Amino acid sequence: MLSATGLGRCINDAWIWRGVDVQLMAGQNLAIVGPTGAGKSLLLRCLAGLDSADEGRIAIDDKPLDEWQMPVYRARVVYLHQRPALWEGTVEENLRAVFHLAAHRSKGYDRSVAIRRLEAFDRDGSFLEKNAVDLSGGEAQIVALTRALSVEPSVLLLDEPSASMDATATEQAEELVARWVAEAPGRASMWTSHDAAQVERVADHTLTLDSSQATIS
């Protein structure tokens, strides 16, 4: 589904990584592992088209990235920031505002779906009234994940999605994503995590980023 071949990224004349191949098939959960500073986030950002790669090509469904209109592409390949970034307003306004974007205007905000997703985290409807600035880091990650799922992407690029969550919420997030991938055809997820146990739990494939060469297993 999402494929990248020979990707390389060079910053200040040094290759962060080079010759990276990624093959993400529908139904897969791929984890990117590597030491801190190996450029895991950068790779996800490149795949989301938020950063540019210096060499190599990225394609989804065999159509190269260059030929996509970026908003359309990113509506399908959604990247979730490591630091969850919510907009001003309540949780519900955050979940609703995403449907004001032209790319998602054809879909509509469905309160019951939002509540159902939040219930997976033991949060009820009153959580929707909370102001985004009052949320803890973990709660903000829950909202960001719920918001990303609500636009029905094909690929979720998850950059340390549970870094600020407690153990229970982490487990719930992993379960939610696994269920979401399995629920319908044509969905896949990609993870980065500093937690080896989490990688073990969520990933059916891993890609190791290790100073300028990558191996897939």
Partner 1 sequence: MNGYLQIGYTQTALAGLLIVANLVLSAALRLGLGRRLVIAALRMSVQLLLIGLVLKWVFALENPLPVLAMAAAMTAIAGVAAVNRTQRRFAGVYWGSLVSVSGAAFFVTGLALLGIVRVDPWFDPQYLIPLLGMVLGNTLNGISLALDRFVESLVQRRDAVEATLALGGTRWEAAHDHIRDAMRVGLIPMINSMMVIGIVSLPGMMTGQILAGAEPTDAVRYQIVIMFMIASAAALGAFGIVFFTYHRLFDDRHRLRLDRVRKVVA
Residues lying near partner 1 in the complex (CB under 8 A): 48-52, 70-72, 74-76, 78-81, 83-87, 98, 101-104, 144, 147-148, 151
Nearest by Cα to 42 from 163, 202, 189, 212: 212
Query: CB-wise, 72 or 216, nearer to partner 1?
Result: 72
**Shortest separation between residue 75's beta carbon and partner 1, angstroms:** 3
The secondary structure of 141-206 as a DSSP string is HHHHHHHHHHT--SEEEEESTTTTS-HHHHHHHHHHHHHHHHHSTT-EEEEE-S-HHHHHHH-SEE
**Shortest separation between residue 215's beta carbon and partner 1, angstroms:** 27
Query: Other CB atoms closer than 10 Å to residue 34's CB: what's the count?
Result: 18
Query: CB-wise, 105 or 210, nearer to partner 1?
Result: 105
Query: CB-wise, 80 or 169, nearer to partner 1?
Result: 80
**Shortest separation between residue 144's beta carbon and partner 1, angstroms:** 7
Query: CB-wise, 8 or 89, nearer to partner 1?
Result: 89
Q: Six-digit token pair at 173?
A: 């997030």
**Shortest separation between residue 103's beta carbon and partner 1, angstroms:** 4
Q: E strand or H helix at 91, and its extent?
A: helix 91-97
**Shortest separation between residue 68's beta carbon and partner 1, angstroms:** 10
Distances (CA, A) of 155 to 110, 149, 210: 21, 10, 24
Distance CA 60, CA 179 (A): 22
Query: CB-wise, 80 or 128, nearer to partner 1?
Result: 80
Nearest by Cα to 26 from 182, 199, 212, 141: 182
